[in-house]
A and B are shown apart, each in its own frame.
Chain A
Amino acid sequence: MLDISLILDAWPELARGIATTLAVTAASFLGALLLGLLLTIGRLSRRKSLQRGCEGYVALFRVVPELGVIFWSYYCLPLLVGLSLSEITCGIIALTVIAAAYVSEIYRAGYNALPIGQFEAAKAIGLKEWHAWRLVLAPQILRRMTPSLINCGIDTLKNSTLLAAIGATELAYEAYQIGNTTYNYLTPFSFVAFVFFIVIFPLSLIARRRETRLQARLR
């Protein structure tokens, strides 16, 4: 049932699908890093309305299924804003707003863990505020957040397979195309699993190793 020739025949489409998957993931994740920052600033703001709004956003996107958001951004968003958006654009918007909620959680956890005492101490021994941030606080916070951020990026990559449902020509879409025309779904689906494993495994190893090192340091 595994028929490698199907993969070879459709190689140009599959290669394009892999490129699209990676590009969509990268764009969405970068967008989420920015939107997540805005959300975190909003959540930490003293203005109650802004704070509630941003908390509500995070709470909402933590529980609504990705597929629902993707459908919505594709079918309903264009009606609301009166613009015709391509499936790739809608897909990136959907994945960005979902990931931003998670990124914001990670940022906030990082903020909560800020060692303010160290900041004071750094200033007391004569470091300028900027230097105290750059040399003392930032490295610790980044180290603490990196594993979670990598995991969030991995989730965004996996979620990109759901964009097939709106016709974004990413890897899973190309796999469905092969399955739908030949009725052999096992081969393309296994290929998708293989590609994902190759991409994600090294990333998750890095996240894991960093996490272990961090735990050892914090102990």
Chain B
Amino acid sequence: MFSILTDLLPDFLLRYWPALVSGALVSLKFLAWAIAIGFPAGMGIAVIQLNGPALLRLPVIALVEMVRNTPLLVQLWWIHFAIPILFGARSSPEVSAAIGLALSSACYFSENIRGGLLALPEGQREAATGLGIGRWCLWTRILLPQAIIDTLPASANTVLSFFKATSILSVIAVPELMMTAMRISSRTADPIGVLTTMTLIYAVLGGGIAFALRRLEAALMLRSRR
């Protein structure tokens, strides 16, 4: 059993480790993008779903349902080909991936935040209205911060699942870790070794991200209690 593992390691690692590093960096870059765009957009979507005008609310709900009820693989594929047709502009794999990932993560984050908003006591809104606090202030200073803090564990799960989902970007040829591993494996004809190494890299990076998220969660929870 161990001979299999030791046989796997050499050769391609020596030759292609820079590629694996840059592939991992691309994966992390797309994850950062999915959070940076998806999280604020998710907040907006959650508020619109709960409190927006009907004209805006219905398409947003339809979008969230479409995204959550179909596989990301198929969505990415569609976006990659719908963009040039709808807007007449060409789209590189990176651009399509960025749009697809942000759209998808926004919908998933919005579901977390919406759940948090629903769980807040009704009385808060009434009290705020009674005190003459404006709607903008009510949502941005009172309701959203509480909902975000309350649903941090769910959002941490969403971040981790999008870290894994970056591997699906390989279907439209984004040079992230999975795609890089595939490229190396077809050059070295050693798929098992390359895929095992790739899985280990994901495990280590993901473990680091999970750890960082727990620390962040603890820090934010502590601050909110003060």
Contact = CB atoms under 8 A, between A and B. Distances in A.
Contact of B69 (A69, A185, A197): A197
B81 interface: yes
A211 B198 CA distance: 37
The winner among B118, B164, B167 for most chain A CB atoms within 10 A is B164
A105 to B, nearest CB: 8
Contacts of A69: 199
B81 A186 contact: yes
A170 to B, nearest CB: 12
B164 A64 contact: yes
B73 A161 contact: yes
A218 interface: yes
Interface stretch (B14-22, B32-40, B134-142, B200-208): B200-208
Nearest to A201: B69
A18 B198 CA distance: 31
A68 B170 CA distance: 13
A80 B57 CA distance: 53
A197 B168 CA distance: 19
A45 interface: no
Interface of A: 59-60, 62-69, 71-72, 75-76, 79-80, 154, 158, 161-162, 172, 185-186, 189-190, 192-193, 196-197, 200-201, 204, 211-212, 215, 218-219
B202 A68 contact: yes
Interface string B187-211: 0000110011011001101110110
Contacts of B210: 59, 62-63
A212 B167 CA distance: 33
How many chain B residues sit at the interface, stated as a range, is 35 or more
B119 interface: yes
A97 B94 CA distance: 31
Given A64-B199, A219-B119, A59 B207 contact: yes
A75 B192 contact: yes
Interface string B113-125: 0010011011000
Given A68-B167, A190-B78, 6 more contacts: A72-B195, A75-B191, A186-B81, A193-B74, A193-B75, A204-B68
B169 to A, nearest CB: 11
A206 B198 CA distance: 38
Interface of B: 1, 4, 65-66, 68-75, 77-78, 81, 115, 118-119, 121-122, 157, 160, 163-168, 178, 191-192, 195-196, 198-199, 202-203, 205-207, 209-210
A190 B77 CA distance: 10
Contacts of A186: 81
Nearest to B191: A75
Given A59-B210, A66-B164, A68-B199, A185 B77 contact: yes
A65 B167 contact: yes
Contacts of B81: 186
A62 B210 CA distance: 9
Nearest to B69: A200
A113 B109 CA distance: 24
The 4 nearest A-B residue pairs measured at CB = A63-B206, A65-B167, A68-B199, A200-B69
Contacts of B203: 60, 63-64
Nearest to B65: A201
A211 B166 CA distance: 29
Nearest to A68: B199
Interface-centre pick from A65, A76, A196, A218 (highest chain B CB count, 10 A): A65
B7 to A, nearest CB: 11
Nearest to A212: B118
Contact of A63 (B71, B121, B168, B207): B207
Contacts of A60: 203, 207
Contact of B178 (A67, A72, A219): A67
Contact of B4 (A64, A80, A185, A197): A80
A79 B121 CA distance: 56
Nearest to A63: B206
